[in-house]
Chain A
Amino acid sequence: DQQVKQNSPSLSVQEGRISILNCDYTNSMFDYFLWYKKYPAEGPTFLISISSIKDKNEDGRFTVFLNKSAKHLSLHIVPSQPGDSAVYFCAASSAYSSASKIIFGSGTRLSIRP
């Protein structure tokens, strides 16, 4: 039972356009959501997060939107740059779960084409 799902394994976007990565979750107890970015042969690195009390969080070119009623969040990258090509993991956490436990999705591989 995968509680965090990223249904698109890959996405290709032209440089300069908007990249939209989607994530769905099933556990209504999740109260914090995170996006991690991973380059080949490296570990994931934290990108941006959002609390369940908000519906949007913005950090430079990156914006995360949360729709709690639909149990859906998305990461928008605009404008997309070649260095954004990576695997993006959506993750979720609950204050009621084991301390510091984060549930990750399977990732979406984003490719930015020139």
Chain B
Amino acid sequence: DTAVSQTPKYLVTQMGNDKSIKCEQNLGHDTMYWYKQDSKKFLKIMFSYNNKELIINETVPNRFSPKSPDKAHLNLHINSLELGDSAVYFCASSQLRLAGEPPNEQFFGPGTRLTVL
């Protein structure tokens, strides 16, 4: 009955490969996110979807493409993996923040550690 789940937990792959990370939430939230935690430990927002529509798209290489088949899933596909893509990737979900309201609590998955060799 995990609230936000990610698969796989660990991913080791060679440079140049294409890989996907899956995320699912069973909280009934309408907004989902992908974060990257790099070597400096900052958690940086990459993308956010609300009801399958992209609402946040930070400066991320276009090798990264999120896919949201429905509002409970937000998958991350990465093409032509590079060494610098090695990081921990976290998926999260929340209710959408309404204008003028405080941000809603974001619930995070356990993370996927990606290692590119």
List chain A positions with a Cβ less than 8 A from chain B.
Answer: 2, 9, 32, 34, 41-46, 49, 51, 87, 89, 93, 95, 98-107
Contact = CB atoms under 8 A, between A and B. Distances in A.
The 9 closest A-B pairs by CB, nearest first: A43-B108, A104-B43, A100-B97, A46-B105, A93-B103, A106-B41, A98-B56, A106-B42, A44-B108
Given A32-B103, A43-B108, A46-B105, A100 B42 contact: no
Nearest to B108: A43
A43 B56 CA distance: 21
Given A44-B43, A89-B43, A107-B41, A102 B110 contact: no
Contacts, number: 74
A34 B97 CA distance: 14
Contacts of A100: 31, 33, 48, 50, 55-56, 94, 96-97, 103-104, 106
Interface of B: 4, 31, 33, 35, 40-45, 48, 50, 55-56, 90, 92, 94, 96-97, 99-111
B113 to A, nearest CB: 9
Nearest to A42: B110
